[in-house]
Structure 1
Amino acid sequence: MTTESGAGARVNCVVDAEGRVALELPAPVAATRPHLLLRLRPKKGEPVTVSRTVPLEAVADGPARAVLEPLPALEEGRWDAFLLNGPDDTAPERLRPGLRDLRALVDGHLRDRPSPVAVRIPYVTKEGYLAVRAWLRTAHAEAGRIDVGDRSTTVTARLHGATFEDGAVVRLRMRGSDAPERDVRPVTDGDHLGFRFTVDHEDLAAGTAAEGGIWDVFVHPAAGAPPIRVARLLDDVADRKASFVHPAARAAGAVLRPYYTLDNDLSIRVATG
């Protein structure tokens, strides 16, 4: 459970294991029809086109509460939170975080998820405002332990919303057009959900261009099945790129390091030269 300081309207939130987000403004709201407004943050330079409103149940001289139910799921992306004082409010107020109780999310990787896999994590933006990070994927491969050795890296993971069948492969795909790929056979558990795979450092370095590159990690759970991105989403960490730093390894004149992207997807960076 965490708190944040600073001026502005504040909202406490509690998330349960099903993804339900309960929000409470400790101070009374001076509005007749207050709503919580969530806006999906657009790409830079583009207008806001997707939003969601949730009514705040105001109590006289008491807090106002809103519950964001698990369904319908939020589209994947970052949703900024605002207080909307009425249906005609053209200047909604940006909300700041109060107490954030995310304890139910900490062990989320221990629960198997059906398809589609929907995840939402309230977090604090760089500017100190409340937002919700959401993922929505047909299926998901949750990365677990990552062991970086001298010659290879082994990743343990688990499928959600899919199961392994014949012909499964883990595919590392270098970013860019006409980019090379490397296929690795996963070793699967008896339940056809858990798996692990090992990446040979010299092989990956040999397949990387002289200027270096980034290999994104996918799993195809069956021959011809669509790719499932390997990522780490099922806990309480909305942004793990800077906070989860893995050791680097050297091979064939290159430095290799697994890392999580801005979307918490697993990739391997290879720097050559």
Structure 2
Amino acid sequence: MMSKHDTPLRADCAIDTDGRITFRLPPASAARPQLLLALRPKKGRPETTSHHLELEPDPADGKWHAVLEPLQALDEGRWDFYLLPEPGAERQRLRPGLRDLRALVDGHLRDRPSPVAVRIPYVTKDGFLALRAWLRTAHAEARALDVTDRAITVEARLHGARLHEDATVRLRLRGSDTVRSLRPRIDEDGRGFSFTAGQKDLTVDGGGAGRFWDAFVLPTADARPIRIGRLLDDVADRKHVYVYPAMTTDGTAARPYYTVDNDLAIEMT
């Protein structure tokens, strides 16, 4: 455990438009240091997945650096960073230094091929460096959300696939088999689309309060559903950052929001 007199070990990181992340750590006396990425397991589960990156000294300033290449696939989830001074040594968790995420800010403007891999370095609630990773065959990036007293309209763009004439937006009531199918308005390039959900689309027998609708798009009528969310910028945790008003009708409110995984959903209250 670190005492109050110890200096936290910090790592700088910078990401480019291709998703390549370069890490830099202060000079150290270690002979064979490695940067360890550990996938955070679900609560109560053991840690099972990790990656090691070799740290190399930079002749210019003596700092150690490592590169996480864009083609190195990371499982979807949250990854914690550690310094491993040498193989078999006790690992040391890293604090964040400078984080250069400028290349991510307008990431939604670039079309992505399949599979869609997204990585966003961020700072955990307890002040450590971590990485949020998504890896999906295709992804529908939500853009503008417009909420009125009658409807919720969503604009989005599909990455890793194209929409066909029989494309469908599907709202699925969480924890049930209940679905609502909506016809999207499709842009000429087959990637951009929008859809509108009214109160009747979100109403179910027995009332709707306390329920949640998850949003998907199907590129063709028989295709696998693709989650609609917002991943392609520098915000790792969007749920409490992007807050939208509710559509209220007959005492029932429908409010769009982003889940803990940055996926789009609609909450009924």
Relative to the length of structure 2, the TM-score reads: 0.94
**Structure 1 stretch 197-206 or stretch 155-164: which is displaced more?**
197-206
The yes-or-no answer on 1:171 pairing with 2:178 is no
Matching residue of 1:235: 233
Q: CA deviation at 1:207?
A: 5.4
Within 5 Å, which residues of 2 pair with 1:24-43?
A: 24-25=24-25, 27-43=26-42
Matching residue of 2:125: 126
User: CA RMSD for the aligned pairs?
Assistant: 1.5
- Give the whole-Å Cα distance in 1 for the aligned partners of 2:65 and 2:206: 53
- Give the conservation status (yes or no) of the 8 Å contact 2:213–2:265: yes
**CA deviation map 1:128-158 (0-9, x unaligned):** 0000000000000000000001100100000
- Give the whole-Å Cα distance in 2 for the aligned partners of 1:9 and 1:170: 47
- The aligned amino acid for 1:228 is I
Within 5 Å, which residues of 2 pair with 1:56-135?
A: 56-59=55-58, 62-89=62-89, 91-135=90-134
Within 5 Å, which residues of 2 pair with 1:162-241?
A: 162-177=161-176, 179-206=177-204, 209=207, 211-241=209-239
Matching residue of 1:262: 260
Matching residue of 1:15: 15
- Give the whole-Å Cα distance in 2 for the aligned partners of 1:240 and 1:225: 28
- The aligned amino acid for 1:32 is A
Relative to the length of structure 1, the TM-score reads: 0.93
- The aligned amino acid for 1:235 is D
- Give the conservation status (yes or no) of the 8 Å contact 1:15–1:22: yes
- Give the whole-Å Cα distance in 2 for the aligned partners of 1:15 and 1:170: 33
- Give the conservation status (yes or no) of the 8 Å contact 1:205–1:252: no
- The aligned amino acid for 2:18 is E
* Alignment gaps of 5+ in structure 2: 1-5
* Alignment gaps of 5+ in structure 1: 1-5
- The aligned amino acid for 2:174 is R
**CA deviation map 1:3-34 (0-9, x unaligned):** xxx95100000000110000001x21221100
- The aligned amino acid for 1:245 is V
